[in-house]
Amino acid sequence: MPGGVAAKVVVGFVAILIGERSLQTLVHHLSHDMLSKDRERNDRLGNLLVAGFVGIRIQNYRRVHFVHHAENGSSADPEFIDFDTVDGKGGLRRFVLSYVTGGEVLGLLRKYYGSSQVSPPSAPAARRSRSPEATATGGRRVVREVSHIVVCQLVLIAAFVFIAQAWYLYIVWLYVAVTWSPLLSKLRFLVEHPGKDDRTVSTLGPWFEVLVFAPFNFNYHWEHHVWPTLPPYRLDGMHRHLVREGFFDRYPEFTTSSFIRSLGRRAASSSRAAPSPS
């Protein structure tokens, strides 16, 4: 790989990771109707301006995420993960490796586009769906649901080819979208939802950690779960108010100071607790 191309790939990877983490966080905020209280308008614009670039549909994300809010920490939480789960996959290092090598791509697709996203039809309805009319309707629905992704991906390709003049960065974009970005979401979850209960933690990490783990005030996660309808741009103000009131002095278990240090401490604690091989 020529030196100029290698430099573009390295710099592009960092920029793309930051960009995709920002877009992914905006998808979360849009699932809470950040853009408009008119949900149809919110989703239509949000899909075209944000979600399509990371290959997702706000409606699908919302179905999963709102169950997380309702079932936080329970076995019914579709987003739940803890260090017991990570240890069951071979430990944190192997867990990270599985993500960055693409081992979790199929699970990611099933989560947001699998059969659980729609209600299973009854047997008669399933038989009727074989008719040309039903098939056409289903086909139109699929086209409608992915059309914003196609448009956004074409915009990305044009930007990489004609503006960046580096078509290969689109491959980097696709790679990050199904590997590093969802991995950082999982690692963030391990920090912000520790244990097997509904405890949620806000993380006051340094700016570079927040930038890749939880931008746009998403790191104020305890506040978000307590007041899920509070606009994201007001979460930091709510946090400052709680600090002035001494809330986190009384309940320090609801904050932590770093994503990376928290992961390191929990990984070390998990490894010490693991039984030694006989």
Mean pLDDT of 30-54: 97
Does residue 118 carry a pLDDT above 60? no
Distance of CA 78 to the CA centre of its chain: 12
Mean pLDDT of 249-257: 96
Residue 179 has a pLDDT of: 97
Residue 143 has a pLDDT of: 83
**Separation of alpha carbons 150 and 53, rounded Å:** 9
Does residue 141 carry a pLDDT above 80? no
Residue 123 has a pLDDT of: 34
**Separation of alpha carbons 131 and 193, rounded Å:** 46
**Separation of alpha carbons 173 and 108, rounded Å:** 16
Residue 208 has a pLDDT of: 96
Phi, psi of 102 (to 5 degrees): 85, 10
Residue 188 has a pLDDT of: 97
Predicted confidence (pLDDT) per residue in 61-100, tens digit: 999 999 999 999 888 999 999 989 899 989 999 999 999 9
The neighbouring-strand residues paired with 203 are 256
**Separation of alpha carbons 211 and 278, rounded Å:** 43
Q: H or E segment at 219? A: none
Residue 222 has a pLDDT of: 98
The tokens for 203 are 């993380």
Phi, psi of 202 (to 5 degrees): -95, 140
Mean pLDDT of 102-111: 90
Residue 131 has a pLDDT of: 47
Question: Which has the higher per-residue pLDDT, 75 or 271?
Answer: 75
pLDDT band at 129 (very low <50, low <70, confident <90, very high): very low
**Separation of alpha carbons 153 and 146, rounded Å:** 11
Q: Whole-prediction pTM value?
A: 0.87
Positions of E strands within 50-191: none
Mean pLDDT of 229-236: 96
Sign, CA dihedral 199-73-21-235, equals negative
Mean pLDDT of 154-166: 97
The neighbouring-strand residues paired with 152 are none
Return the minimum-mean-pLDDT range out of 14-23, 160-169, 261-270.
261-270
Distance of CA 95 to the CA centre of its chain: 17
**Separation of alpha carbons 253 and 173, rounded Å:** 37
Residue 274 has a pLDDT of: 57
Mean pLDDT of 256-267: 92
Residue 270 has a pLDDT of: 65
Predicted confidence (pLDDT) per residue in 179-227, tens digit: 999 999 999 999 999 888 899 999 999 999 999 999 999 999 999 999 9
**Separation of alpha carbons 175 and 114, rounded Å:** 20
Q: Which of 25, 46, 20, 32 is nearest to 225 (CA)?
A: 32
Residue 120 has a pLDDT of: 35
Residue 47 has a pLDDT of: 98
Q: Is-contact 200 188, C-beta < 8 A? A: no
Mean pLDDT of 19-45: 97
Per-chain mean pLDDT for the chain: 89
